[in-house]
Amino acid sequence: MKNMGVTFTIPNEYGKYLSGILEPIPFGEYQWSIDNDEIHMLENNEFLFKEEDKLIQGERLYNIAKINTYYLVFATLRAFFKDGTVQSVRTYKEFLDSDCQIALAVYDCSYVMFWCKSNQTVTNMYSYALSKGYEDVEYISENDLLKEKYYIE
């Protein structure tokens, strides 16, 4: 059985958790589509990402997330190779049939779901989540995704 993702829980507090989640990913290889995000900056309570950041290069995404402190309510990010076709994916089948390489979602301020087509990146994320002391770290099997137990909003 192949592992295609990871779920875990991050602390429900202000921090820089998005940049942390991105660290085990080769984020600079991708352009990222940001959907359904509500991330409030501590300094001024404005949103972390502006409308012009809804399609953003990986380095810029990481830098914005790294230099600010914020409260992550929810967010959906999808990574595409820079020459890939950007589109919304919700189900695992849509994910497989698309150019999307990574789907990352944060729900309810702390629940993280990560899908990736690279098994090595999935393993890296699992190890990273454990090393950071995140809670409820579990693999998502391809079988679970095929049964549509998970989807990305």
Q: Is position 34 within any domain? A: yes
Q: Decide if pLDDT at 128 tops 80.
A: yes
Structure tokens at 70: 């914020």
Domain contains 63: yes
Mean pLDDT for 73-83 is 92
Q: DSSP readout, 91-152?
A: SHHHHHHSSEEEEEEEETTTEEEEEES-HHHHHHHHHHHHHTT-EEEEEEEHHHHHTT----
Contacts of 49 (CB under 8 A, 6+ apart): 34, 37, 39, 56, 64
Query: Where does the pLDDT of residue 65 fall: very low under 50, low under 70, confident under 90, or very high at 90 and above?
Result: very high
Residue that is written with structure tokens 């919304």 in the block? 88
Position 133 pLDDT exceeds 60: yes
> Which 3 state secondary structure label does DSSP give 54?
coil
CA–chain centroid gap for 130, Å, is 16
Residue 151 domain flag: no
Give percent of the chain with pLDDT exceeding 70.
Answer: 95
Q: What is the pLDDT of residue 130?
A: 98
Flag whether 152 is in a domain. no
Is residue 99 over pLDDT 70? yes
Q: How many domains does the chain have?
A: 1
Place of tokens 């309510």: 73
pLDDT at 150 over 70: no
User: How many angstroms separate the most distant Cα atoms in the chain?
Assistant: 46
Q: Indicate the pLDDT class of residue 39, thresholds 50, 70 and 90.
A: confident
CB 125 within 8 A of CB 25: yes
Domain of residue 128 covers 3-146
Domain for residue 121, yes or no?
A: yes
Give the Cα separation of 61 and 98 in Å (integer). Answer: 22
Domain annotation covers residue 153: no
- Which range has the worst mean pLDDT, 19-23, 34-38, 128-132? 34-38
Range in 69-78, 84-93, 133-142 the model is least confident about: 84-93
Residue 132 lies inside a defined structural domain of this protein? yes
Q: Which residue has the higher pLDDT, 131 or 37?
A: 131
Q: Assess if residue 140 is contained within a domain.
A: yes
